[in-house]
Amino acid sequence: MFRASAPGAEIELHPPGEQRYNQDMDLPIRPVTADELPGFLHAEEISFGERATPASIEDLSKIFEPDRTLAVHDGERIVATTAAFSFEVTVPGNRQLPAAGVTAVGVHATHRRRGLLTRLMARQLDDVAERGEPLAILGSSEGGIYGRYGYGPATFYSKVEVEKVKAQLTGEPEPGRLVLLDKAEAKKLIPPIYDRVRRQTPGAISRSDAWWPGLIDDPEHRREGSGERFDVIHERVPGEVDGYVSYRFSHARESGRRRNVLLVLEVYGLDDQVRTALWRYVLGVDLVDVVHAYCAVDEPIGWRLTDLRQWRTVHTGDMLWARVLDVPVALSARTYEVGDRLVLRVEDPFRPQSGGTFELEGGPDGAACRPVTAEPDLVLGASQLGSAYLGGVRLATLARAGLVTEVTPGALGRADRMFVTPRAPWCDTDF
């Protein structure tokens, strides 16, 4: 739905002179008022090479928090933007942590390469810290921007294609019934089950009451040329919703033949049996040639197919980026697969007050983390801590890339055994 950075934000179009750069450093940054929010949203869309419409402005105005916006003003014009949503993110151990969902980051092409993005990022992180949020998260439209500000890619997805006619699930159908909802029913039944499932899914984030109408009403400007959204719930016990799937159709022509594509938007179930039932439904919808879906990198349903080769991964990518602002609070909030003690030195050049040396003692029942002056077992940057925090990236992998230093022999293996999670973290809420 939203993007954290404008495409090409780091491209130098017309290198500014030193005098103009110094002038830009004096341009004021402030939140916009509710009355100014439409202008802010227009400016944000321009950064992405788009023009906001009255429908999209009305849609976005319902979920943006004006006091969490930041805009750079050049006279009467807004020339750079960023904003944040107030989220909870599920961390390993199924605990909830407040997080700032950074969005709408963009600088107009007329004002790039003048330090405005760095000023916005610094000011925003100060605001996040003042609110007591130990974590900032975002989805990046460009991969080369946010590492310098301490963010690291933390969750990943696989885009898969399944030839429906050849895709058969093994085993007998799962017990329960499926119900196709109208929009009024979907608004009532889907948000509660999403909230239950996201609380047991590391990496998943909360969705406010204001978030859901725009998703389920499914205005045409969000469809990108595809058909309308369908929502189906699953009930193992009548009247007790335990999962849902949302999807839409698109159509293309290949060699003169119409090819019908079912696009899976979301699949959420309280357990794997429910999720399998929902996938069995998806793979049984009539008049479908191929199913497209974005899934966690360890999505297990392909292994239930009689022919695993029909589960084709066509693309992988990063989704959620994480940035730790309060290391003791963040590391104390999650649980760890095995009990151990490690001393970590976190180097944070962009925000030195968030770095330091910390002792972590943690295990399956909880953890405690505090600043210390001891020699570290591992040395890593803020962005590497963000990548490893949810369990989606092994510290040993980052060490092989030269981004983590093992000081105490064996510390990398111990850290990976602590930070690993039984399933890959997952977030499919686009913001």
Of 85, 157, 294, 431, the active-site residue reads 431
Three-state helix/strand/coil letters over the chain? CCCCCCCCCCCCCCCCCHHHHHHHHCCCEECCCCCCHHHHHHHHHHHCCCCCCHHHHHHHHCCCCHHHCEEEEECCEEEEEEEEEEEEEEECCCEEEEEEEEEEEEECHHHCCCCHHHHHHHHHHHHHHHCCCCEEEECCCCCCCHHHHCCEECCEEEEEEEEHHHCCECCCCCCCEEEECCHHHHHHHHHHHHHHHHCCCCCCECCCCCHHHHHHHCCHHHCCCCCCCEEEEEEEECCEEEEEEEEEEEEEEECCEEEEEEEEEEEEECCHHHHHHHHHHHCCCCCCCEEEEEEECCCCHHHHECCHHHEEEEEEEECCEEEECCHHHHHHHCCCCCCEEEEEEEECCCCHHHCEEEEEEEECCEEEEEECCCCCCEEEEHHHHHHHHCCCCCHHHHHHCCCEEECCCCHHHHHHHHHCCCCCCCCCCCC
Q: Catalytic: 87?
A: no
Q: Catalytic: 146?
A: yes
Of 40, 87, 146, 244, the active-site residue reads 146
Which residues belong to the active site?
Answer: 146, 431
